[in-house]
Amino acid sequence: MNYKIVLDAGHGGDDPGATGNGIIEKNLTLDITKYLYDRFRDLGIPVKVTRLTDETITPTERVNRVLNAYGNSNDVIVISSHINAGGGDGAEVIYPLRNNNVLPNLILNEMSKEGQNIRGSYQRRLPSNTSKDYYFMQRNTGNTQSLTVEYGFLDSTKDDVNQLKNNYKNLAEAVVRAVTSYIGVPYTPISGDNTYIIKGGDTLYSLARQFNTTVDELKSLNNLTSDVLSVGTIIKIPSGTTPTPDSNTYIVKKGDTLYSIAKNNNTDVNTLKSLNNLTSNTVSIGQVLTLPGAVVIPSTENQYVVKRGDALYSIARKYGISVNDLLTYNNLTSNSLSVGQILNIPIENTNTYTVKSGDTLYGIARQFNTTVDSIKSKNNLSNNILTIGQILTI
């Protein structure tokens, strides 16, 4: 099988997930996902993500992004990263009823090698229909091997808070080892090509310069608490600091500006901003930017990001609309498109409804001449709670 990986950073945007002890789930799941993304990409494994920014994604949209990445067959491995809360301790993996526990247990075994406590892997059934998975990330993800990885509890009274704050990269690396072993791709440790043996005269500053990184990054990668180096020590060098030529992402380094990054990658600041959902020109060291040409999953159901090879005609056909509609809707005066350009798609809103303040499922059902149950099942809602801005399929 030719395995592909889809990474999903749990929560995001308006939905922070669990919070506590200085940990915000949506941010940590994103950090973990970025780490995984770089590692799988460096290992040459096809990998896509549902989000690389702090973005609000409805469950329906999240599932769409998963399925749009590589389709829904079982050679697609989905790693949905989450941080647990509720007073337990240790890592757990939830896997679909259609799968076995081989990969989940490989992941947990590797995590235990990194010092994390293990709670186990399990499946969970929907009480109202026990032939179905309880969680939408398992239930609505086709035949993919869609795993929810809970790295630990942010409210643990044991060592999980420390694991999550100081060991999360190693826990993510454990996932990399497990997945490569499962899919039969040779695993190269980050400390293989990416190590350096300290020589006389080396300083953190000279090494940072030599390897195109920063002193802080070197220190955090190696858990160094001081600037003192001893000759002969092996230290880790960040793997993402030397982007591969065909890479569609760029990791921001010290001194970079959006302008310099745009110039070096033959694009412009506005394209970079729209591709990465940036609202300002500020970038931070270590931030992962998507570059034009990358496979980008549109940020809303009504937008489409132009990919290499796209034409107005092919895009119009994809959405069952006319080229003229597309031109008018986007105020375009010519047929030429540029990679990374975002097109608004004039999708008739007969099939979707955006929840407004004061809406109830009952009211919406009445308005569209349907039933609460039908809306819930179409949108995989497990309760009647709606959030403003949520997009419902009717």
Query: Which residues of this protein are in contact with Zn ion, per CB under 5 A?
Result: 10, 17, 82
**Separation between Cα atoms, residue 152 and residue 159, nearest integer Å:** 9
Tell me which residue has tokens 């406590």.
117
Task: For the CB of residue 26, give the shortest distance to Zn ion in the complex, in Å.
Answer: 8
By C-beta, is 10 or 240 nearer to Zn ion?
10
Which residue is listed with tokens 């009480």? 127
Tokens of 164: 């999550």
User: Are the C-beta atoms of residues 58 and 140 closer than 8 Å to each other?
Assistant: no
Whole-angstrom distance, CA of residue 102 vs CA of residue 89: 22
- Tell me if 185 sits within 8 A of 44, measured CB to CB: yes
Q: How far is CA 158 from the centre of its chain?
A: 28
Least Å from the CB of residue 336 to Zn ion: 43
Listed residue (143, 145, 59) closest to 381, CA to CA: 59
Q: How far is the CB of 29 from Zn ion (least distance, A)?
A: 7
Burial, 287: exposed, middle or buried (Cβ in 10 Å; 0-12, 13-18, 19+)? middle
| Residue nearest Zn ion (C-beta atom) | 82
Q: Which is nearer to Zn ion, 141 or 290 (CB)?
A: 141
Which lies closer to Zn ion via its Cβ, residue 37 or residue 135? 135
When the beta carbons of 17 and 340 are compared against Zn ion, the nearer one is 17
Of 161 and 294, nearer to Zn ion (C-beta) is: 161
Say how far apart CA 230 and CA 348 lie, in whole Å. Answer: 65
Using the minimum distance from each CB to Zn ion, give the nearer residue, 17 or 286.
17
Nearest to 343 by CA among 303, 309, 316: 303
Minimum distance, C-beta of residue 94 to Zn ion, in the bound complex (Å): 11
What sign does the CA torsion over 199, 205, 210, 213 have?
A: positive
Cα(385)–Cα(62) distance, integer angstroms? 18
| Residue in the block written with tokens 């940590």 | 28
Compute the least distance from the CB of residue 31 to Zn ion, in Å.
Answer: 14
- State the Cα–Cα distance between residues 377 and 270, nearest whole angstrom: 39
Work out how close the CB of 53 gets to Zn ion at its nearest, in angstroms, rounded to a whole number. 17
Nearest residue (CB) to Zn ion, 111 versus 262: 111
Closest separation in Å from C-beta 153 to Zn ion: 11
Toward Zn ion, which CB reaches closer, 62 or 82?
82
Residue 342's DSSP bridge partners are 305
Q: Bridge-partner residues for 92, per DSSP?
A: 120, 150
Q: Which residues contact 226 (CB under 8 A, 6 or more apart)?
A: none
Least separation, in Å, of the C-beta of 300 and Zn ion? Answer: 22
Q: Among 116, 118, 35, which Cα is nearest to 79's?
A: 35
Between 25 and 42, CB nearer to Zn ion: 25
- Are 141 and 100 contacting, i.e. CB atoms less than 8 angstroms apart? no
Helix, strand, or coil (residue 160): helix
Q: How far is the CB of 385 from Zn ion (least distance, A)?
A: 16
Nearest approach in angstroms of CB 172 to Zn ion is 16
User: Is the CB of 149 or the CB of 291 nearer to Zn ion?
Assistant: 149
